[in-house]
Amino acid sequence: MLKWIEWFNKIDNGLEKIERVLAVVLFLLLIGMICGNIFARNVLHISSYRLLELAPAVVLWLALVGATLALKHQRHIKIELLLRFLPRTLQTLAVSLTSLFAMGVCAVLAYAGIAFVRNEIVLFGARGWLAGCLALFFALACFRFTLRLLQPWGRDQGERS
| Residues 16-71 pLDDT 10s | 999 999 999 999 999 998 888 888 888 888 877 777 888 888 999 999 999 999 98
Q: How confident is the model at residue 1 (pLDDT cuts 50, 70, 90)?
A: low
Tell whether the model's pLDDT for residue 161 goes beyond 50.
no
CA distances from 106 to 30, 97, 98, 99, 136 (A): 28, 14, 12, 10, 10
Position 122 scores a pLDDT of 92
d(CA 16, CA 24): 12
pLDDT greater than 50 at residue 114: yes
pTM above 0.85, yes or no: no
Q: What is the mean pLDDT of residues 89-118?
A: 89
Q: How many CA atoms lie within 13 A of 91 on its CB side?
A: 15
CA–CA separation, 77 vs 153, rounded Å?
18
Contact partners, residue 127, CB within 8 Å, separation at least 6 = 120
The C-alpha atoms of residue 127 and residue 13 are separated, in whole angstroms, by 30
Instruction: Say how far apart CA 43 and CA 12 lie, in whole Å.
Output: 45
Q: What is the pLDDT of residues 117-151, one digit of tens each?
A: 999 999 988 888 888 888 999 999 999 998 888 87
pLDDT at 154 over 70: no
Amino acid letter for position 128 = G
Task: Spell out the long-range contacts of 14-18 with Cβ–Cβ below 8 A and sequence spacing 24 or more.
Answer: 15/72, 15/140, 15/143, 16/69, 16/72
Statement: residue 104 has pLDDT above 80: yes
What pLDDT, on the 0 to 100 scale, is given for residue 105?
A: 94
